[in-house]
Every structure is written in structure tokens, then in C-alpha cells.
Structure 1
Amino acid sequence: MAIKISQGLKQSQNLAMTPQLQQAIKLLTLTHLEMTNVIAEEMVENPMLEEAGGEVDASAQAESDNEVREATSEDFSEAPLMKEKDDFDWDSYADSFNSNSSTPNMATSSGDPDEMPSYENIVSKGMTLAEHLEWQLKMETLSDEEWKLAHLIIGNINDDGYLDVNFEDLIAESGLDREDAFDVLEIIQRLDPVGCGASNLQECLLAQARIAEERSPLLEKLIRDHLEDLQGKNFEKISKALAVTVEQVKKTSLLLQNFHPKPGRLVATPDTHYILPDIYVVEAGGEFVVQVNDEGIPRLKISKLYQEMIKKGAGHKTDEASEFVKDKLRAAEWLIKSIQNRQKTIEKVSKAIVAKQQDFFKKGPKYLKPMVLKDVANEIGMHESTVSRVTTNKYMHTPLGTFELKYFFNTGIGGKDGGVDIASEVLKLKIKAIFDGENPTKPLSDQKVVEILARENLTVARRTVTKYREMLGIEPSSKRKQKD
């Protein structure tokens, strides 16, 4: 078979990912804090960069300081699990175990919560949970083998206070007898905070029940054998099984309010999240407008000293010092352009979002409109990937609160067969409101919610309702039914 070889020219376009372009793309994805850190590093490494003169207006600085704050775990803390004289709310208690909240419930049915001892006064803020447990363990008399197991246990306790590995594996590794190993585990579970080292919620609560000032055999039976029944509010079933009254069951279950489903969080220091908005949205003349946050971003310029060095060394192309300065000049110019481009792009995207979502800012989250990346990309004449980078880890401070830019992008749902198209986030709020307003004795099924939404001209599949119900942490109707 003959092989034909030909030669020709083909013209094509390719985007070369130069280091400068990579840097520009990287700047788009950085948070406000990350970008200011990058600029500070560049100013140290590149002598061509200088900060332009001029001070930030003092009043503007003060106003910005009032608006920007540090977000901590307290912003996401849960409501108190119980109120005095209320029935025990197992759903709320279980939520506190399953959620990421680190705020413990310190209130009790008797006594002033303000009089409770503060863990800040007991535990050094710089001390980790493992260090706190080991510090107490030094007061115990343990053999070398027991110490080995104790360190293995503590080293595998997560921030919630639970053992992350199979205890049987730790026993095998330690070489201790099972009985002695469980004695060591019990010692650790009695340390402060009580319950750390448990493998599950039941074990954790039992450890706390055993050291209670007034032990309750009934409470321990409830924890050991009837946690699921408490969750399902099957008080009648429990009373029959334990031969006690329903009132005794309810009263005893109230003691659980003193226990902590995640005891490790009483000591483990939660991560602090710093949020500095890239955009501020303010109302002006009845409309909401965008202001880009330039706080902390220095106005850069090229050093005149090094510009003169370049001019003087223009006739010495082989001079290494001159080449070094030229390289730094190009890098400095590109950085300045990249910063300007980043801020302008964020401003364009934010203006497009605000223009589209005016009803949201005027009336609240229920009026969030469906919007996808393509809508904004077409509006501002940029690629969807650019919009995606700009909206990642960028926050917008508004009169309604601070939101990540991605919050405003929601696909439209419910518009099939002539129905009304609404944002997925709005649909989630509607579904939550429907479940919140249901009769506890006759909880709504997912299909029933579909029918209720249909009355509002929203065509939604049952599986969609199920998905949003699960996202909201709402149990199926069979488990929500209130039983006397």
C-alpha cells in the first residue's frame, strides 16, 4: 500500500496559558483577603511595585469597619433545645447531634443559665480536646499497656467527641485484655467533658447518665432501649414496655436536656471564618446599586527609581541587572492590569445580578428569580467560566445580610405544562413553610405537598419535594406523626 506524504500550512487559533494569564485567572478566583495577601507578597518580591499616595477617607473607613465583621460559629448556633416545662423535643436534640453547630445547650429546667460554670474559665482556649483529656488522664494510675491504649483512644477522638475507629481494632493493637481495655475506655468517658470516646450517641448519653448527680434507672433504660421510640414520640409504646405512665416517660426524658450530644465541642475550638465582602449593595433613590469593596487593596504604581534605571540601561541589552528590571517591570504592569480587570469584572457581574434580582432586595428571599450563569454571561458579554470564577468565594453585603454570589444563581423549577417558573431556593422556602404549618397529628406526605404546590400553579415532581425535604432535615411523615 502506498503512503502519500503531503506538506501544507494550516492556520488555527490557540489560547496560550502564559504565566501572566494564569495569574489573572487565579486572581479572579481568590477571596478578598487572599488577594490582598497576594498583593502584599508581590510588593515584597517585586521592587518595581509601589503604593500610590493618598489616604482612604476616614469616614468611609469607619463605615466599612462597621459593616465588615468576623463570622464565628455563633452566627450559626442553634436555638435552645428546650424550654422549661415543655415536653422533650427529641427532633431538636437529634438535630443538634447531626448538625455542624458547636454551640452547646447549657440551660437546665432549674437554675439560672448565667450561673452555670463557663468552660472558658476551665479550659485554656489554646488547648485541644486531646490535650485536655490527656491532662486529666495524668491524674489516673495506669500501666504502660493501659497508657498505650488510652493514647490510641484519645488520638482517634474527633472534635465532636466520638471515637472515629472501631474500638475492637484498638484493643487488638494495645494487647490488653478486653475487660481491662473497657475499663480504660470507661475512665476516658468519665473525664471532662463526659461522654468523649463513645462510639455512638447512645453510648455517649449513657456515659453522662451514669455520672449524673441523681442517677435515674428509668432514664438509662430510655437511652439504652428506646432512643428510636423517643425520636418517634412513641411515649405510649415506651410506657407499656417499661410498665410506667406516659407522664413518667415524658418527665424523665426531660433530663436529657442536661446532656450534650456532641461533648467534644465544649472544648474543641471551632474554626473561625472571616468574611470580607467584595461588594456592597446599597439603596439609592429606591433602587439598589453596587459598590465594589476596595478596602485593603493598595493602589499600585511603577517605581520611578527603577523606571530611570531602565532608561539608563537601555543601551546595555546584555546587562543582567537591566534584564532583571525589565522582567520585574512586565510582571508589575501585568499585576496592576489583572487587579483592575478583576475588580471591573466583579462589578459587572454584581451589577447584572442586582439588576436581575431587584425584587429580592426590595421584598426578600421569597422573590428570588431563577437565574443561571449563562444569563449573566450573555448580559455582560463574558464566558460562563469567567462568571463562575468570579462568583466563587465572593460575598455581597446587602441590607438583607451577606450572601455568597452563587446564592443568587438558581435554576427554574415548576414551570412545566404552563406552570410558573420559580427559583429552586424559593421553592425550598415554600416547601419548608408548608411543612412548618402542618398539623403534627396529621403530617403531610410528599405527594400532598405536590398537590398544595399545584394550587399555586407550580408543577413539581414528588421526588423533587422529597429531595428538598431531606435537604431541610425534615423526616418522612411516618416519623413526624405526633403520638400522645
Structure 2
Amino acid sequence: MELKHTLQLTQKPTLIMTQRLQQALKLLQVPTLELQQILKQELLQNPLLEEVDDLEESQETSSSEDEQKDLEEPEPVDDEEQLDWAEYYQESYDSSPGRPDTSAEFPERVPMTVSTLQEHLLSQLRLSTDDPELVEIGEFLIGSIDERGFLTITVEEVTGILGKTVERVEEALKLVQTFDPPGIGARDLRECLLLQLERDEMHDSLAARIVRDHFDSLKERKFAEIAKKARVPITQVQAAGDIIAKLNPKPGHVISYEEPKYVIPDLVVEKVEDKYVVFLNDRHVPRLRINPSYRDMLRGEKSKKDKTREYIIGKLNSAKWLIQTIEQRRKTMVKVMKCIVESQMEFFERGIAFLKPLTLQQVANQIGMHESTVSRVTNNKYVQTPRGVFELKFFFSSKLQTDNGEEMSAKSAKEIIAQLIDEENKADPLSDQRIADMLKDRGLKIARRTVAKYREQLRLLPARYRKRH
């Protein structure tokens, strides 16, 4: 067979992700707070864009008809499209007809200066002793404490590094362990719990004895075995276990220097009479319009094509496209949320137990959009409803079959499992198999391993750990 080189021309359709298309997809995906920052950046970069407030908008509305008569239509550089200034000069981006009241004033959040765990401990060290050697050892020990609050180095290692005696290192460690939060500077979990019990003046209590002498049995919650060895009633062991359960296994997390993350809903669903109304919660999103002052620069000879005119035409097209994209984003988000409300009407009326199975593809088919578009709309977005604030992904879940042929959401099954465990007899808790049998009696087909998976996702303990005496 002879091999040779040949040239061949073929045609095939391909999707080219232009810069504008990529930006449009990004604007659709970002939450409201991030969109606010993006639009503020666009206001700085594009001189033809300006933000309009409510007062200006009301004044312009009354005089819009007279001003629109004076507008001219300059010709773009490529002569392919006429610029309709009458359309874009007075139009501004209005995010929603159901916009909430913007007259409400909110106090500005002032950034707080929060110290780290090490800084918090060092400040206590300097107030606790004026011994230079103890301060030196204490600073080294504090630098060796991890974010959980545990000491990550042994006394012997500290002795070898600093050249201090074991007695002085132990003295410095005991000093650090008296600092706030309780349990700080422990070398393991057992010592951490004992330090907290000692701080609560429970060093000689049954709880402290259990942690000291029966820690392995405590981790397995073998209360009967502990009661037999300690020669005390099992009810007292149970009460001591409750005390130990309230202690903090990671005391370092009490001093957190991470800024809290606030959830601000992107959409709002309110019940007005017998209907649910959906609108955007974008009162702080800049409302954009085309700056009218640049129209004078485009007047004159249409054939004139200098660099200034070309620059203004380019920025004008960019501003027009941005305003249209934001408006399209608003319509798409409201359309998707309205579809979710219609599909999950029983949830809004009766609660989580009546949440229906729903997929992104089902919503996409109902509103005539692609599944990826719905995914971008629901990504990292939150909605405020009469039943609380939920992530949009919350309304989508897999389905479970029932005996009568109907479908039930996996979230509804989890809610039923949590309710059964909450109402169970604590002296005889329900096993996963018994829960599966009870769900089967209710017509829900679910396996024991699925019950176990849902229980773990709900962070509920197995039956043997939930037993009370």
C-alpha cells in the first residue's frame, strides 16, 4: 500500500467562545454581590456608562419625550448598523418591577481587627509572667500550637532545641495550658478534655475519672463496661458522658481569625394573597444607562472617521451589550425561579417533607433553555422564601420510588428519617434496618444501606451510640 501526503478541505460547524460570550456566561453565573463589583469596575473602565439613581430616573421620565426628539442617530465606523440613541440615551437598567424599597438605610460594616490564636495566647503570656526564660519558652511553645489548639512538639524536643531543662519547659507548658480558651496546649485529646474539666473544677469528678482511666471505652460509648469497671450505676456514667460531650475537642477553633461569610439572597419569593411572586434582590446593583454627554461628540459629518469617534463607537457598543446582557440575566434568573416555584409548590405550602424530585434537565425543558444555562443560574445562588433562605441547588434532588408508582425526593426521605430518629425511644433506638422497614410500610422503597448513607449525611449516630439508659 502506497503512503502519500494529500491536502483536503472540510467544513464543520464549531462553537467559538468569543470574549463577549465568555463574559455573558460569567455574568449569568456570578451571585449578586460579585455582580455588583463587576459593574462598578465596568463603570470605571467605560466612560459611556453611568449609574442612575432613583431621583434622576424620576426626573428623566417626565422629560424623556421632549429630549428624545432632539437625539440623532450617528453612523458607526463599519456602516453596518445605525446607532439608535433615542433607544439607549434615556433607557436605564431597571432590575425588577418588584424592586424592594431602596429608601432603607443600613449601617456600614466597619472591618474588625481580629487577632490570631497565637497573638491571643502571646498577649496572655506577657501579662502572666515577667520571667524572661519562661517568656522565651512560652513563645516557642505557642508557636508550636496548631489551629486546633494542640501542641505539636514534645517536651524533650523543646529541651533539645532551646537548651533548657525539662522542669522549666514543663513549667512554661503548664502556664500556657492555663490560658484561654480552656484546653489549649494539650498534647492529645485526653489531656485536652482533662484540662477543660479541671478548669470547671471537676478534676475529681466521675467524668474526669472516665477520661483518665476508661478513655478507649468512652470513645466506643461502652457505658455498661465503664459502669462495671468503675463500680457505679450506668445512669451516672451516662450523665458523665453527657458532660464530656459538651467539651470542645478543638479549642483552638474558638479563636477564629477568618472573616465570617454572609449569605445574601439573590432572589426573593413572597406570597401575595394566594400566589407566589418572584423578584430579584438587587437593590445594591448599579442601574446603568448610556451617558448622554457623548452624543455631541458623534454629531457632525457621518463620513468623518477619526480615532475619537471610533473609540466612542466601540465603548458605546460595549455599553449597549452590557446593559442587554444584564437585562437578559435578570429575565433568565426570574424565569428559572418561577419554574422551580411551580414545580415545588407543595414544598412552599407544606414543608421539606413534600419536596419533589427535580433535575436541571426538567427545568431546562420547561423553560426552553439548555441544561448548562440552568446550572449556571443555580450555581452559588440563594433565594429567600417564606420557609427560610435556601441555596437554589437545594430544590434539585434524586428520586425514590414508592409502592403506588409516585416519586419522592431524597431530601424528603432524609427529613422522614430525621423525624423518626428524633421521635424514637432512646432506650431502644431504631436500627437502620428497622427504619428501612418503617419506610417500606409507608410505601417508600429504600434499602438499609441507603438509610445508613442518608443518616450519615444527616450526621446522626448509629443506633448503638444513640442508646440511653
TM-score of the aligned structures, taking structure 2 as reference length: 0.79
Equivalent residues in 2 for 1:176-187, closer than 5 Å:
179=166, 181-187=169-175
Partner of 2:30: 30
AA in 1 matched with 2:318: A
Aligned position for 1:406: 393
CA contact (8 A) 1:446 1:465 kept: yes
Q: Does the C-alpha gap of structure 1 residues 169 and 370 become closer, same or farther in structure 2, counting only changes over 3 Å?
A: farther
Which of 134, 137, 143 is the aligned partner of 1:152?
143
Change (3 A) 1:308 1:426: same
2:373 partner amino acid: T
Partner AA of 1:409 in structure 2: F
1:174-253 matches, within 5 Å, as 174=161, 179=166, 181-213=169-201, 215-216=203-204, 218-227=206-215, 229-230=217-218, 234-246=222-234, 249=237
Going from structure 1 to structure 2, the CA distance change for 1:177 and 1:429 (only over 3 Å counts) comes to farther
SS of equivalent to 2:197: helix
Question: What is the distance in 1 between the residues matched to 2:173 and 2:302?
Answer: 76
Give the AA of the match of 1:292. Answer: L
Residue equivalent to 1:392: 379
- CA drift at 1:481: 2.6
Q: Could you tell me which amino acid in structure 2 is paired with residue 33 of structure 1?
A: L
Answer yes or no: is the 8 Å Cα contact 1:420–1:457 preserved in 2. no
* AA in 2 matched with 1:224: R
Q: What displacement does 1:387 show?
A: 0.7
Distance in structure 2 (CA, Å) of the matches to 1:466 and 1:257: 23
> Aligned in 2, Cα 1:169/1:451: closer, same or farther, shift over 3 Å?
farther
Structure 2 residue 119 is matched with structure 1 residue 128: no
Identity of aligned residues (%): 37
SS in 2 for 1:193: coil
1:93 corresponds in structure 2 to none
Deviations 1:126-180 (A, max 9, x none): 32322110111224335386256324324xx21x5345x5658974994557945
Whether the aligned pair in 2 keeps the contact of 1:353 and 1:408 (CA below 8 Å) is: yes
The reply to whether residue 361 of structure 1 matches residue 348 of structure 2 is yes
Task: Measure the CA separation in 2 of the matches of 1:313 and 1:263.
Answer: 75
Question: Number of paired residues?
Answer: 422
- Aligned partner of residue 366 in structure 1, secondary structure: helix
Moved more, 225-234 or 19-28: 225-234
- Measured after TM superposition, the shift of residue 346 of structure 1 is 0.4
Q: 1:176 to 1:468 in 2, by over 3 A?
A: farther
Relative distance call for 1:65 and 1:153 in structure 2 (3 A) is: farther
**Aligned equivalents of 2:46 and 2:369: distance in 1?**
31
Residues 1:438 and 2:424 aligned together:
yes
Farther-moved stretch of structure 1 (328-337 vs 456-465): 328-337
- Asked if 1:303 is matched to 2:294, the reply is no
Q: How does 1:58-137 map to 2 (within 5 A)?
A: 61-62=100-101, 126-137=114-125
The 1:422–1:172 alpha-carbon spacing in structure 2 relative to 1, beyond 3 Å, is farther
Structure 1 pair 389/251, CA: closer, same or farther in 2 (3 Å)?
Answer: closer
Deviation, structure 1 residue 436: 1.7
In structure 1, the gaps of 5 or more residues are 71-123
Provide closer, same or farther for how the CA distance between residues 276 and 239 of structure 1 changes in structure 2, counting only shifts above 3 A.
closer
1:456 matched to 2:447? The reply is no
Matched, 1:429 2:425: no
Partner residue of 1:326 out of 299, 313, 333: 313
Distance in 1, Cα, partners of 2:366 & 2:181: 55
Does the 8 A contact of 2:48 with 2:319 survive in 1? Answer: yes
Q: For the Cα contact (< 8 Å) 2:144–2:153, is it kept in 1?
A: no
TM-score (norm 1): 0.77
Q: How far apart are 1:236 and its partner, in Å?
A: 4.1
Provide Cα deviations, 1:97-117, integer angstroms capped at 9, x if missing partner: xxxxxxxxxxxxxxxxxxxxx
- CA distance, structure 2, for counterparts of residue 178 and residue 390 of structure 1: 63
Paired residue for 2:263?
Answer: 275
How far residue 410 of structure 1 moved from its aligned partner, in angstroms, is 0.8
Q: Is the 8 A contact 2:49 2:289 kept in 1?
A: yes
In structure 1, the partner of 2:70 is none
RMSD over aligned CA atoms reads 3.4
Aligned to 2:63: none
- Deviation of 1:192 (Å): 1.4
5 Å-filtered alignment, 1:371-386, equals 371-386=358-373
Distance 2:183 2:295 in 1: 67
Q: Distance in 2 between matches of 1:325 and 1:12?
A: 37
Structure 2 distance, partners of 1:169, 1:3, is: 75
Please state if 1:294 is matched with 2:285.
no
